[in-house]
A and B are shown apart, each in its own frame.
Chain A
Amino acid sequence: MVVTMLVFGLSRISGDPRSLLISEDATIDVWDELGREMGLDQPVYRQYLIYVGNLFRGDLGNSTLQRKPVTEILWSRIPNTVRLAFASFLFALLLGIPLGVLSAVKHGRWWDRGIRAFAVLGQALPVFWISLVLIYVFSVGLRWVPVSGNAGWTSIILPTIALGWFGAAGQVRILRSSMLEVLNSEYVQFARAKGLPSRTVIWKHAFRNALIGPITFAAVTLAGMVTGSIVVETVFAWPGLGLLAIQAVNNSDYPILQGLILLVTLVYIVVNLMVDILYMIVDPRIRIQ
C-alpha cells in the first residue's frame, strides 16, 4: 500500500507527463484534450484512487513512449530475466555450497585459505567489472562466446557467471562459518565417535543443521539479483527487465519504471514469505514457536 503511494508520488514530482509526448508548439486545446484522456484534470487524490483501482485490475497504465500497456511490455521481458536469474542462482548454489562445505571441513588448510580468498574477492569485485573482464577474456580475447545480446545458448554463459559470482562468494562465507560452528558441536562429535563414515557425518548431521544462515543468504542473493541484473543486462545487452529499466530511465518512461518497482517489491515480499516457510521445513523448532 505504502509502496503504491510512494510510486504514485514519484510519478507526480516528475512533472507533467504530457510534456514528453507533445511538441512545444502544440495548441492549448491539444494539451487539455490529452490531459482529460490521461485523467490529469482530476484532483490529485482522485488520480491516486483511479491509479490504485487500475492496479487491482492488473492495469499499470501505458508506456509514455511506446504507447503500449506496461503489463504487456513487462510480460514480454520477464522470461529472459527469470532464465538469467535462475541460471545464476543455480550457479551460485552449485559453486557456493561445495566450496563452503569443503572450506569448513578442511579448516585451516591450504584449500580453506584458497577458498576464503576467493570468497572475499568475489564479494569485493563490482559486478560490472567482472562482466567486463569476462567479456575481455572470453569474447574479445578467446572469442569463445558472443560479446552481447541473446543469440543462441552460449550467450547466457557469461551473464550467468557475472550475476552468480557475488552470490557464490557470499554463500561460501556464510556456509563456512555455520558449518564450522556445527562441526564443533557435541552431537557431531558424538556421531564421529560412533564411527559413522565422515561423509554421513558431514552431509547428514552437520550440513542440514548449518542451513538456516545459507537459506537467509540465498534469499538475499535472489533479492540482490535485482540490482545485479540491471547492471549485467546493461553490459551484455540481455533483453530482460534490467535492460528495460535502463531504457526506461534513458527515455524518461515513468510508467514502466513504476511498473518495475511494483513488480520487484512483489517479488521481495514473495521471496521473504518463501524463506519463512523454508525455515519451518528445515528447522522444526521454528514451527513450534
Chain B
Amino acid sequence: MSPSVQSEPTTMTHTVVIGENHRLHRWPVIPVVMLSILIMLAVFAPVIAPYDAKLGALEDRHIPPMLFGGDSDHILGTDGLGRDIFSRIVHGAHISILTTAVALGIGGTVGTFLGILSGYFGGWVDELIMRIVDIKYSVPLILIALSMATILGSSIGLLFGLLAFMVWGQFARQVRAEVLSIVKMDYVVAARSSGASPARVMYRHILPGVAGTVAVIGSLQVGAVVLTESSLSFLGAGVPPPTPSWGSMVAEGRLYIDTAWWVSLIPGVFIALLVVSVTLLGDWIRDHWDPQFK
C-alpha cells in the first residue's frame, strides 16, 4: 500500500495558528451558511415540514414544483403517492445528518482508540490491529452491506454499523502514525517514567495530541459517508421505507423520470448541496488545522 505519511513532531504549533486573527477572515462563508441551513432543517424538521412526510393523498400525486407549473401548496411538488416533497426533503435531512453523525462518532471513536493502542503498545498488538485494518480495506463494503441487509433486513441500526465500519480504518491508520511520533516526545517519556499507568498516558497525554488529526480525518470523511448512505438507501439497503431518506427518494422517483423528473432529481440536488458544503469545509479545516498539509 501507499507509504504512510508521518508527521514531524511539531503537533503543538497548530494551536498558535488558529489563534492568529488574520486567518479568520478567510472563513468559508458559503459552505458554512449552506451547512447551517441544512442542519437547521434537520433539527427542526417536525416544525418546518408543512405536511406529513409518510402520508399523502393519491389525488395529489405528481404535482410539479412551484416554478414548473405547480402551486405554492407544494413548493417542490409531490411524489407518486401524493406526498409533499419538501416535507420529505426536510425529514430526509434529519436522517442523512443523523446517520452521518452517529456513524462518524462510532467509527471515529473506535478507530482512534485502536489507533492509539496500536501506536502506543507496538509489537503484536500493533501487528494484529493493522492486519485487521488491511482486511477491512480488502473487503467490498457495498456487497457486504447488501448481503447483510438481505439477511437481517434493512434497519437504521444496521446502517449505523455499516457506515461506522466504513470509516474506522482510516482513523486507526492515521492516528497510529501520529502516535508513533508522539510517544517518543519528552513529555510522554516523562509521564511514563514518573509511573503513570498506560491508560492515563494514553488518555491524558496522547489523546489531546491526536485530536487535531482526528478532527481533520472526520471532516474529510463526511462527504463520503453521506454519499455511501444515499447509495445504500438508493439500492434499498439503507433506511427502510416509508421513512424518507434522500437516496431512497431518488430511487422511488426513478420509474417516473420521463413524466415527473422532480421526484428523483430534487433530492439529488440536496445530497449534492450537503456534500459540496462539507467537502469545502473539510478542505478548509485540513488546510488550517493540520500541520501536515500546510
Q: Do A and B come from one complex?
A: yes
Say if the beta carbon of A235 comes within 8 Å of chain B: yes
Q: Tell whether, in the assembled complex, residue A226 and residue B143 are in contact, meaning their CB atoms are under 8 Å apart.
A: yes
Show 23 A/B contacts (Cβ-Cβ < 8 Å), sorted by A.
Answer: A6-B139, A13-B151, A120-B276, A120-B279, A125-B268, A125-B271, A126-B230, A126-B268, A128-B250, A129-B264, A129-B272, A132-B264, A133-B265, A227-B228, A230-B142, A245-B146, A246-B235, A249-B237, A257-B150, A261-B140, A264-B143, A268-B138, A269-B138
Give the size category of B's interface with A.
35 or more
Say if the beta carbon of A254 comes within 8 Å of chain B: yes
Q: Tell whether, in the assembled complex, residue B251 and residue A128 are in contact, meaning their CB atoms are under 8 Å apart.
A: yes
Q: Which residues of A contact B21 (CB under 8 A)?
A: none
A110 and B139 CA atoms in complex are apart in Å by: 42
Query: In chain B, residues 200-240, which have Cβ atoms closer than 8 Å to a Cβ of chain A?
Result: 223, 227-228, 230-231, 234-237
Q: Which residues of A contact B55 (CB under 8 A)?
A: none
Give the size category of A's interface with B.
35 or more
Q: Tell whether, in the assembled complex, residue A132 and residue B150 are in contact, meaning their CB atoms are under 8 Å apart.
A: no
Q: Tell whether, in the assembled complex, residue A261 and residue B143 are in contact, meaning their CB atoms are under 8 Å apart.
A: yes
Say if the beta carbon of A200 comes within 8 Å of chain B: no
Across the interface, B235 reaches (CB within 8 A) one of A123, A125, A230, namely: A230
User: Which of B143, B247, B258, B261: most chain A Cβ within 10 A?
Assistant: B143
Query: In chain B, residues 253-285, which have Cβ atoms closer than 8 Å to a Cβ of chain A?
Result: 254, 257-258, 261, 264-265, 268, 271-272, 275-276, 279-280
Q: With A10-B147, A136-B257, A245-B146 in contact, do A127 and B231 touch (Cβ < 8 Å)?
A: yes
User: Which of A129, A132, A246: most chain B Cβ within 10 A?
Assistant: A129
Q: Tell whether, in the assembled complex, residue B138 and residue A265 are in contact, meaning their CB atoms are under 8 Å apart.
A: yes
Say if the beta carbon of B39 comes within 8 Å of chain A: no
Q: With A10-B147, A254-B147 in contact, do A135 and B257 touch (Cβ < 8 Å)?
A: yes
Across the interface, B250 reaches (CB within 8 A) one of A132, A227, A264, namely: A132
Say if the beta carbon of A140 comes within 8 Å of chain B: yes
Closest to B293 in A: A177
> Interface code A96-138, partner B: CB below 8 Å = 1, 0 otherwise?
0000000000000000000000001101111111001101100
18 further contact pairs, Cβ within 8 A, besides A136-B258, A230-B142, A246-B146? A10-B151, A120-B280, A124-B276, A124-B279, A126-B231, A126-B271, A126-B275, A127-B231, A128-B250, A132-B250, A140-B257, A227-B228, A231-B231, A246-B235, A249-B147, A249-B149, A254-B151, A260-B140
Report the number of A-B residue pairs with Cβ-Cβ less than 8 Å: 128
Closest Cβ of chain B: how far from A238's Cβ, in Å? Answer: 15
Query: In chain A, residues 1-46, which have Cβ atoms closer than 8 Å to a Cβ of chain B?
Result: 2-3, 6, 10, 13-15
Q: Tell whether, in the assembled complex, residue A257 and residue B146 are in contact, meaning their CB atoms are under 8 Å apart.
A: yes
Say if the beta carbon of A272 comes within 8 Å of chain B: yes
Q: Which residues of A contact B236 (CB under 8 A)?
A: 249
A155 and B146 CA atoms in complex are apart in Å by: 27
A7 and B261 CA atoms in complex are apart in Å by: 40
Closest to A137 in B: B261
Q: Tell whether, in the assembled complex, residue B271 and residue A129 are in contact, meaning their CB atoms are under 8 Å apart.
A: yes
Q: Which residues of B contact A133 (CB under 8 A)?
A: 265, 268
> Interface code A255-289, partner B: CB below 8 Å = 1, 0 otherwise?
00100110011001100100110000000000000
